[in-house]
Structure 1
Amino acid sequence: MLPPIATIIENFELIEDWEERYSYVMELGRAMAPLPADRHSEENRVHGCESQVWLDSRFETGGERPRVRFLGDSDSSITRGLVAIMIAIYDGKAPDEIVATNGLDVFKQLDFGNHISSKRAGGLRAMNERIQREALRLAAPAQ
């Protein structure tokens, strides 16, 4: 199970060495709930990522406010960890909260800009945009 994003940020602040940070990122990927095999579909594939990335979303209407739930996966252990961080940022939030959040700001706060390739940075942007679009799409019928 993934820790809350606040815990991930705190843990990153405690780890100064980037090799150890990458180990932690991969650990987060392993802690992420698995994406069922049938969800590894072209429809769920995120285009623009260097590695294969899949994001699945569903709209939960039970509870006080409707929420969007995300599952993800990647064929790369580091990228799977980046997907896990993105999911920790957005999973379980209401669509309006998702739209008001820029997950890329968290990656900037964690100083990934200086430590990932431009292709991986493009993949993070593609994931963030996909999550934002999904939140709007899933919320539309409920509004």
Structure 2
Amino acid sequence: MASEAFEQMVEDFEFLDDWEDRYRLVIEEGKAMPPLDDALKVPATKVEGCASQVWLHPRIEEGRFHFEGDSDAMIVRGLIALLRRLYDGLTLDEVLATDARAELGRLNLHDHLSAQRSNGLRAMIERIRQHAAEAKASA
């Protein structure tokens, strides 16, 4: 259950044979993402468990999940951009039903990320799921 934007990323990854090219694509996705306003880089939006500094700022608009994010590491910004492609615009139920590990597995990321980056990615996914669950509970 991935968004069209994520499906496009899967297609782009399949087109690239070399992991170095895929890595560059992830970094380019991060560079293209608008930076998070410094006013939103606060303890409440900081994601613990990441080796880099990571902030995620979720919002719900018309029953749809959206979020902005930022990091001080380019590859992590790219991972945030991938997560935005995966989750942005989904309903809260869809966010909670999405198996991010399986979807990201289609990109073979787990084979090419360090243990610290993989842990950070899991922490970001958990934070996104937590925000969606809290928003659903309060709706």
Give the TM-score, by structure 1 length: 0.91
**Distance in 1 separating the partners of 2:111 and 2:76:** 16
The one of 114, 132, 136 aligned to 1:135: 132
Give the corresponding residue for 1:20: 21
1:19 Cα deviation from its structure 2 partner:
1.2
Q: Secondary structure at the match of 1:136?
A: helix
CA distance in 1, matches of 2:60, 2:108: 31
Correspondence 1:1-143 to 2 at 5 A:
4-61=5-62, 66-142=63-139
Q: 1:56, 1:71 within 8 Å by CA — same for their partners in 2?
A: yes
CA RMSD in angstroms, aligned pairs only:
1.2
Name structure 2 gaps, 5 residues minimum.
none
Which deviations, in whole Å up to 9, do the C-alpha atoms of 1:23-56 show, x marking residues without a partner?
1001100122321111111110111111111100
Distance 2:47 2:102 in 1: 20
Q: How many residues align?
A: 136
Structure 2 CA distance for aligned equivalents of residues 138 and 36 of structure 1:
22
Distance (whole Å) between structure 1 residues aligned to residue 132 and residue 67 of structure 2: 10
Indicate the SS of the match to 1:122.
helix
Distance in 2, matches of 1:7 and 1:68, equals: 19
In the alignment, the residues of structure 2 paired with residue 9 and residue 117 of structure 1 have an alpha-carbon distance, to the nearest angstrom, of: 21
Superposed displacement of residue 134, structure 1: 0.2
Q: Which 4+ residue blocks in structure 1 deviate beyond 2 angstroms?
A: none
Conservation of the 8 A alpha-carbon contact between 1:9 and 1:110: yes
AA of the residue aligned to 1:12: F
**Same amino acid, percent of matched pairs:** 43
Residue ranges of structure 1 left out of the alignment (5+ in a row): none
CA distance in 1, matches of 2:137, 2:35: 27
- The one-character-per-residue Cα deviations of 1:2-25 (angstroms, maximum 9, x if unpaired) are x81111110000111111111100
Contact 1:58 1:69 (C-alpha < 8 Å) held by counterparts: yes
